[in-house]
Structure 1
Amino acid sequence: MLENAFIMIVIILAVNITYVSLFTVRMILTLKGQRYTAAFVSTVEVVIYIFGLGLVLDNLDQIHNLLAYAIGYGLGVIAGMKIEEKLALGYITVNVISSDPDIEFTKKLRDKGYGVTSWFAYGMDGDRLAMQILTPRKYELNLYSTIKELDPKAFIIAYEPKSIHGGFWVKQVRKGRLKKKA
């Protein structure tokens, strides 16, 4: 089976896409502090890596195997990023500054299940409404859509918090109070 060049290329591509996808997911799990899951993924990852590398090293005289390995690596990066987007691990903090402090921004966001802390601020051109919103990453795009719908001119900055402790909102999210179509 491995004598056929086409089958060898497909196997090397598949192995490397799988390996690099797992590598990407493991790195994200590590950064998110999920050490035991990351350790398990890395165990599987290294077995796949050694198998794939072995196939290429055993046939170094065949340039198409090396190309398949390199292309598989690149495709694995893309696949790993797509997997990470689907997993959407962790939370995101979104800071919003609305140019219209009279919009019932906080009420509308809270009605959709988002935890919002707001305060009045003063910007270069006058009064503003500043908000800080914490949400699971899986609701990130829905939140942006809602914000833009309420105030298309809103200034939005988002980042991932390293740790979260306490507060009303954390309890609500853990109970699953956010609506899917936020």
Structure 2
Amino acid sequence: MKIEPIGPERATLLVPLLQDLHALHVEHQPERHTPDPADADLCAWLQEWLEKPEICALAAISPQDAVMGYLIYGMEDRPALPVRPAERRATVHHIAVTPALRQIGVGKALMTRMKQDALEKGADVIGVTYAPFNAASAALMRHFGLEPVLTMAEWRKDRETKS
């Protein structure tokens, strides 16, 4: 497998895996996610997102030129505040691997390359958010030394009105 950058012109290659990732989130948190987005809408959104200079996408490509998985991350310069120092942060936004290819190192290869790239771009912090139901993501992040540092909680108006 090779890991290569994916620009907006190739966003369509990521849509099937994004649909799979999104379906997992809809299944576990239906109040947070719109079910069954159209492929064209996802592709347009990915293209627009990947055009931003601070957003980077990587894909794991098989010897047969199939996408095995992808990772999208962003770079951000955060100025110093009275309560914390300045930092250059890489934030992992998405990571997805083809279901049949999980547990063979695709996610680890993507994370390894992302970390190398982010460090080359001056990152001194790598962060990620993942849903509490996603044990696979949590385990992958722990493997790379990313440990939870805070918990985010939500209230949603929709939930209260349905009760």
Shorter-chain-normalised TM-score: which range?
under 0.3
Output the TM-score relative to the length of structure 2: 0.26
- Point out the structure with max Rg over C-alpha: 1
Structure with the bigger RCO (C-alpha within 8 Å, sep 6+) is: 1
